[in-house]
Amino acid sequence: MHKPFIKNISLAEADSWFASAGEKSYRGRQLFNWIYERNVGSFHDMTNFSKELRQRLGDEFLLAPLVLEERLVSESDETEKYLFRTEDGHYIESVLIKSEKLSGERLTLCISSQIGCGMGCSFCRTGGMGFVRNLETAEILEQLSQVRRISGLKNNNIVFMGMGEPFLNYDNVLKAADIMNYSFGFHISVRKITISTCGIGRAIERFIDEERPYNLAISLNDTESVKRRINMPVESKYPFAEILSMLEKKFPASRNRLTIEYVMRRDNISREDAKRLKKMFRNIRIKLNLIPLNPSGSGEAPGGEEIESFLNELAIMNVPVSVRMSYGGDICGACGQLAGKKLYREGAVI
């Protein structure tokens, strides 16, 4: 049994540990400043702690739960994909996306929450891995720590949209999000943290009831329940119609808009699909995020004219509609392509 990871503990738990060690209460805040804001890679770098205290921390905790196996940089758009190995020998991936916005460069880190995924969505390679286990809070936070340290960049957006279903690892994911938001943690605004789910109804309701401040995104991807059940088996247990009814009652108008993710295939962007989308969301404030299907699983990607036609049909929907650009396709870092494997330039995947 390995030593516990220090990034699994909350600020309150850190305060309790230091109190038990006979230290002042402010040591917890200092610790968080070192491991998150200053992002040090060793307890020995914490120079305002005594040598004895640093030694004790090292004796009782592990600081880094992940080892970098591979870093790939897209030749087309500079997207960076990171392959990490866990302490028990499994692999996860994170993706740093660089895109332009009016005020300059926008940096988004796509973070994994599980090793593999058991949801079985037809368009996602991660689902082909099956479910292995949930990531610990420390393993979630370490992705951000290492990407920042390796890239030298401080991203300004976090999306829990990598490998795994975040709401099936609810407690660890929300604990990680809270630490990202802490003033003594990464100090990332709640408006810059998005948690994406394929539609785990009970967790969505819990998220709302707990008044969590983070952005919520739900993957829809089909407007017909029968077709959605084929492409997203979660529909059988949590029908989207029931989730939508709950959202209409509970999702407060004062919150950020709910984001609906919609992966576009040739068979789900008809005029009828557009009409159903408009009808479904007539009573709830949303943003609609359209994602062209990437080469990953089943389905056929639509052409530019088909996407344009779909957008024209949605034009009178009176909600913000955006088409997400695909980044990192040449390194299998685009939406639906993460599978926890090494990718080599000559094209062989192992």
Cα–Cα distance list, 45 to 21, 35, 54, 68, 260 (Å) = 20, 10, 9, 20, 43
Indicate the DSSP class of residue 19: H
Nearest to 73 by CA among 337, 330, 346: 330
Please state, in angstroms and rounded to a whole number, the distance separating the CA atoms of residues 198 and 217: 9
Please state, in angstroms and rounded to a whole number, the distance separating the CA atoms of residues 258 and 284: 8
Please state, in angstroms and rounded to a whole number, the distance separating the CA atoms of residues 181 and 188: 5
Please state, in angstroms and rounded to a whole number, the distance separating the CA atoms of residues 327 and 79: 6
Please state, in angstroms and rounded to a whole number, the distance separating the CA atoms of residues 182 and 155: 16
Cα–Cα distance list, 236 to 10, 119, 299 (Å) = 36, 11, 20
Place of tokens 């979630």: 140
Any long-range contacts for 83-87 (C-beta under 8 Å, 24+ apart)? 83/340, 83/341, 83/342, 84/142, 84/143, 84/146, 86/115, 86/135, 86/139, 87/2, 87/62
- Element (DSSP H or E) covering residue 51: helix 51-60
Rg (CA), the chain: 21
- Active-site residue set: 93, 335
Per this entry, what is the length of the chain?
350
Residue 182's SS3 state is: coil
Do 137 and 182 contact (CB within 8 A), yes or no?
no
Instruction: Say how many Å lie between the first and final Cα of the chain, rounded.
Output: 29
Residue 95's SS3 state is: strand
